[in-house]
Structure formats: C-alpha cells, structure tokens
Chains A and B, each alone.
Chain A
C-alpha cells in the first residue's frame, strides 16, 4: 500500500471549514483514498473514500487532485465534536477479502470555540 504524509496537527475555528491535506505521491492506479477519524478513546470511524473523482457525503467532502498525488478532506462547518485524529489511507478497494488498513499517525484536528 502507498504511504501517506499528513501534518501532525491543525487547528480550526468552530463553524469554519476544516481542510485536511494528505500527500500520496506513490499511489497506484487501483488504489483508493480512504479517510477515517478517531475521537479520543473511541474506535476509528469511516468518513469517506474515493478513487479519482471528488466525493461528498453527509460528513465531508473529498477532493482528489487530477494526478491523484494528493487529496484534501473538507469538513464544511467544523464543530467541537469534530475534534479528533484524522487518518488518510491509500489502498486497493476494501472488500470482505481485502488487505488490512495501515493507520499512520494521522492529523490531530483541534476545533476551537
């Protein structure tokens, strides 16, 4: 699986958009970009994933550059409950018989009142 690089920490004001970057310059053509987050003392939670097109769901938007070497997770209106560690992972599509996910250190997002 391709390695990812994320900033160790970020701050965001409550109500503003949080933009979390991820670099994955060695991503392969069949690898997806997945985002998870982990709120303190809880298990990680799936947020969103994508291959090459931008994706949006009720939680967030995922913007993937045209060359697929980087992506940005956008939380449009951050709340205090969005304070968590955010993990960017690239790997082949997850299915019931897939490989395991490798969780790096992630980005610790602090939403400030």
Chain B
C-alpha cells in the first residue's frame, strides 16, 4: 500500500524567508502527486499536481512553486514567504481507491 511521508510536522518562518517542504512516497511507482493547502477552518485547496518527473500543473496563481525531481519526491517551495502563506499543507498520492494523504505540515509565517 502507498505511504506518504511529509516533514516537518510544524514550521514557523519569518516573512520573506524561503520555504522547502518535501514529500516522499513509498509503496508505489509513478504515482500522481498533489499539494493541498488548508487555511484554518476551511476546506482543502489544490495547489499543484504532478503526473510524472518534471511535470507540474498549477491550479492557482500564488507565491509558491513545486518540483518533482524524482518519481517519488515532490517538493513545495517559495523564495519569499508571505503572511498569507500560513496554513496546513498536505501532500497526497493518487491510488485505486482515491488519495492517500501525508500527515501534513502546519506552517505559520510570522
């Protein structure tokens, strides 16, 4: 079965600092991978998805970017964080029964 690993679990970063969140996948090859963001008390917003190495689709314009340097690695980045980038970031992998989600990273930009 597919397992999604995300780290760190929590992160506090100052405005203007860079960001790199990593997501790795176990148990499957060539998965579709997704980055979601969830603001406090809100639903999940799809940010990026990838169907393969080097292939990234962006769902919403924003201050973030994503990369997929390896089949089982998906990275979410920012060069300069904004206060509005605060939220709960979730990585997910596609599978036959839907998505498997990681445990998430709670990012607070101060």
A and B assemble together: yes
Contact count band on A: 20 to 34
Sorted nearest first, the 3 A-B pairs with minimum C-beta distance are A43-B101, A103-B44, A94-B98
Q: Is the CB of A96 within 8 A of B104?
A: no
Given contacts A42-B103, A43-B90, 5 further A-B contacts (CB under 8 A): A43-B4, A45-B101, A49-B97, A94-B94, A100-B34
Q: Is the CB of A34 within 8 A of B104?
A: no
Q: Is the CB of A100 within 8 A of B49?
A: yes
Tell me, in angstroms, the Cα distance from A36 to B4 when the chains sit together.
16
- Binary contact readout B14-45 vs A (1 if CB under 8 angstroms, 0 otherwise): 00000000000000101110101000001110
Interface residues in chain A, defined as those with a beta carbon under 8 Å from any beta carbon in chain B: 34, 36, 41-46, 49, 94-98, 100-106
The number of chain B residues with a CB under 8 A from chain A is: 29
Tell me, in angstroms, the Cα distance from A45 to B100 when the chains sit together.
7
Q: Is the CB of A96 within 8 A of B31?
A: yes
Least CB distance from A109 to B in Å reads 15
Q: Is the CB of B99 within 8 A of A44?
A: yes
Tell me, in angstroms, the Cα distance from A95 to B51 when the chains sit together.
12
Closest to B104 in A: A43
Contacts of B106 in A (CB 8 A): 41
Q: Is the CB of B98 within 8 A of A46?
A: yes
Tell me, in angstroms, the Cα distance from A94 to B34 when the chains sit together.
14
Q: Is the CB of B88 within 8 A of A101?
A: no
Is B95's beta carbon under 8 Å from chain A?
A: yes
Contacts of A36 in B (CB 8 A): 98-99
Knowing A41-B88, A41-B104, A44-B44, the reply to whether A94 touches B51 (Cβ < 8 A) is no
